[in-house]
Structure 1
Amino acid sequence: MILILLIAIWPVIQSFYFSLFDLKLSDPKKTAVHLNYNINLERYLNTYPFLISALDNEIRAGKAPDKLKAIKSKLTAFDQQLQRNSSIKGKYDAVNDKLMNFQQVSSAISIAKVDRGTVKQYQEMADQVYKNLKSLSGQTKFQQEKKLLGLASGYGDAIMKPNFIGLQYYKDNLTSSRMWKAIGNTTVFTVISVFAELVLGLAIALLINKAFIGRGLIRASILIPWAIPTAVSALMWKFLYDGQNGIVAKLFENFGLVKKMESLLVTDTGAMFSVIFTDVWKTTPYMALLLLAGLQTIPSSLYEAASIDGAGKWKQFMTITLPLLKSSILVALLFRTLDAFRVFDLIFVLTGGGPANSTETISILAYKVMFSQTNFGEGSALSVIVFICVAIISMIYIKFLGKDLLNESSGR
Structure 2
Amino acid sequence: MSHNNVSSTSGGAVGPQRLLGTYPQRQEGQWMQRIPLFGGRIEAHQLEKIAAIARRFSPGTPLHLTTRQDIELHDIAEQDVGAVYQQLSLAGVATFGACGDCVRNMTIGAGCEFVPGGADIWPLAKLVRDTLFNSPTLFTLPRKFKLSFCGCGQGCGRPFINDLGFVRNPDGTFRAIGAGSLGVRPETGIELYPALSTQEVVWLAAGAMDLFAALGDRENRRKARLRHVRQRLGDEAFREELGRRFEAVRHRLAVPELTLAEAKGQYSHRTVLQFVTGEISADQAELLAEFCRDKAIVVRINLTHGIELYSREPITLPAELACYENLPCIVACPGNDTCTNGLTACRKLAADLAMKLAGPSWQGKTIAISGCPNHCAQSAVADIGLCGCVKTIDDKRQEAYQIYRGGGNGKTRQLATVQETVSAEQIA
TM class, shorter-length: under 0.3
Q: Which has the higher contact order (CA 8 A, sep 6+)?
A: 1
**Larger helix proportion of the pair:** 1
**Larger strand proportion of the pair:** 2
Query: TM-score by structure 1 length?
Result: 0.23
